[in-house]
Amino acid sequence: MRMNFARLLAAASLVLAASIAHSVPMQLTGVTGPAMGGVYTCPYLGLVGTPGQSTSQLATSGIPTTIICDDFLTDMSVGQFWQASATSLSALNGLSSPDLALKFGTSGSAAAQQSAYMTLGYLAEELVAVDQSTPAGAAQAGQLSFAIWAVYDPAALNSLSGANLTGAQADLSAAAAAIKVPGQNSPLDYARVQVYTPNPSSSAQEFLVVDPSNVPEPGMSALFGAGFLGLILLAARRRRTRSL
């Protein structure tokens, strides 16, 4: 199994990344994805602050960000503020117990949580590479959104039928298979994915952000697509934001 430079770099910074809790203010400012299954799909739009900032400072200094919701069970409204802790998926590498800073998988095994969040990371990278300017791209993004929600809430797929259900199921299966392939089977391979977990966890949805400045090496790029979006996160009106 190869150990590439990106993985070595991520491993070298792992201890530091895992030991520092980055709490930042966030605000959900809008939705961009199409409506599917009665909800708005990802990505969403939001403002993300820096550690130590208050939510009141977001209006003038928050970073407009594209964010991807992994939480189908929590309702949010556009304009909502909350505090979140940021965790790189690479910080899950080598853990012997679940990372309690995350919203999901905290009562199971570390291996199960790691596998689930790697699946989320893979699907998030696929989603940000989709061109949603076409009807086909919008449908693909919607199906990927439901695949993401189904990782921790399989019942989310009950909202779909026909081609959209088939597509979301296929995306979920593809992600589950991909994270077993060398070069994609370690949390270190998803260092460009950040998880923003609300604090307290019930106060908001959990979001994923894919850093566009951290580009996968060629072999991974072919699988992930042109990865982009990053600390231009999105905060949006989550999963059950009902379409009109």
Residue 30 lies in a domain: yes
Determine the structural domain holding residue 146 and report its residue range. Answer: 5-224
Q: Give pLDDT, residue 1.
A: 34
Give the whole-angstrom CA distance, residue 167 versus residue 148.
Answer: 12
DSSP for 109-170, written as a single string: -HHHHHHHHHHHHHHHHHHHT--TTSHHHHHHHHHHHHHHHHHH-GGGGGG--HHHHHHHHH
For residue 240, tell me if it sits in a domain: no
In a domain, 234, yes or no: no
Burial pattern 184-207, b for ≥16 Cβ within 10 A else e, equals bebbbbbbbbbbbbbbebeebbbb
Number of domains forming the structure of the chain: 1
Predicted local confidence at residue 32, as pLDDT: 84
What is the value of pTM for the model shown?
0.80
Q: What is the pLDDT along the chain (244 residues), one digit of tens a residue?
A: 333 434 433 433 433 333 345 789 999 999 987 899 999 999 999 999 999 888 888 988 899 999 999 999 999 999 999 999 999 999 999 999 999 999 999 999 999 999 999 999 999 999 999 999 999 999 999 999 999 999 999 999 999 999 999 999 999 999 999 999 999 999 999 999 999 999 999 999 999 999 976 544 433 333 333 333 333 333 333 444 444 3
- Residue 243 domain flag: no
133 occurs within a structural domain: yes
Query: In this predicted structure, what is the pLDDT of residue 9?
Result: 38
Is the bond preceding residue 43 a cis peptide, omega within 30 degrees?
Answer: yes
Kindly state whether residue 237 falls inside one of the protein's structural domains: no
- In-domain check, residue 40: yes
Is residue 229 included in any domain, yes or no?
no
